[in-house]
A and B are shown apart, each in its own frame.
Chain A
Amino acid sequence: SQQGEEDPQALSIQEGENATMNCSYKTSINNLQWYRQNSGRGLVHLILIRSNEREKHSGRLRVTLDTSKKSSSLLITASRAADTASYFCATDANTGNQFYFGTGTSLTVIP
C-alpha cells in the first residue's frame, strides 16, 4: 500500500486539552508534512519537517520526526473547537516524485 498509517483513526477531546496524532511511514523520505482538511474541503498545509530535523514548532503545533522508527507525531496544544478536522501526514519520498498521504486522524474538539 502506498499509504502510511496514522493513529488514532479518531480522537475526541475537550476544548483546552492537547491532541496528539501519530504517523508511521514506509520509505526513506526527504520530508514529512502535516495537513488539515475540514469536511469536504481542500487541504491546508500546516507544517513541514525535513528528514534531518527532529522537532519543529509552529504556534500551537509541535511536530516530531524519528527517521529511525519512520514515525512522526503532531501535537496540538490548548485545542479549540475550530481545530475539529481531519489531519493527514504526507511523505515526500527521496526516490521518485510521489507524495503519499497517511490514513488520517479525525479530530473532534468538544466545546
Chain B
Amino acid sequence: GAVVSQHPSRVICKSGTSVKIECRSLDFQATTMFWYRQFPKQSLMLMATSNEGSKATYEQGVEKDKFLINHASLTLSTLTVTSAHPEDSSFYICSARDGTRGYTFGSGTRLTVV
C-alpha cells in the first residue's frame, strides 16, 4: 500500500533555532501534501496544504513566515519551523494524497523546543 515516511520522528532543539521536518511519499507521487499539528490531548489541526511546484496554502491563523513549506518534488515536502519557541513544541504529522487510495499519514514528528 501507499507509504509516507516522515523524518525525524523526534527532535529536540534550542529556542531560536530552526528545525526541518521531511515528508516523503515512497511509492507514489503526491502533488498535494498536508501538514498537521497536534497538541497534547487535542485533535489534529490542519496547518497548511503543500502543493508541488507552487506556494503552500495556509490555514487561518498559521504564520506562513514561521512555518515554511517547500514541496519541490512530487515525493517530498518539507516543513521548517523557524525561530522555534517552546510554544511550538508539538506533534507534527504530514499526509499525502494518493489519487487512488486516499490519504496516507506519516508517523509524526515530536518536536520539543527547550
Contact = CB atoms under 8 A, between A and B. Distances in A.
Contacts, number: 50
A48 B59 CA distance: 25
Contact of A3 (B45, B97, B105, B108): B45
B108 A48 contact: no
Contact of A98 (B46, B107, B108): B46
Main secondary structure of the interface of A (DSSP, over half): strand
Given A2-B59, A42-B106, A104 B43 contact: yes
A97 B71 CA distance: 16
A40 B40 CA distance: 8
Given A97-B49, A99-B34, A100-B46, A42 B95 contact: no
Given A48-B102, A102-B43, A42 B32 contact: no
Nearest to A9: B41
Contacts of B91: 40
B44 A88 contact: yes
Nearest to A35: B105
Interface of B: 32, 34, 36, 41-46, 49, 59, 91, 93, 95, 97, 102-103, 105-108, 110
Interface of A: 2-3, 31, 33, 40-43, 45, 48, 88, 92, 97-104, 106
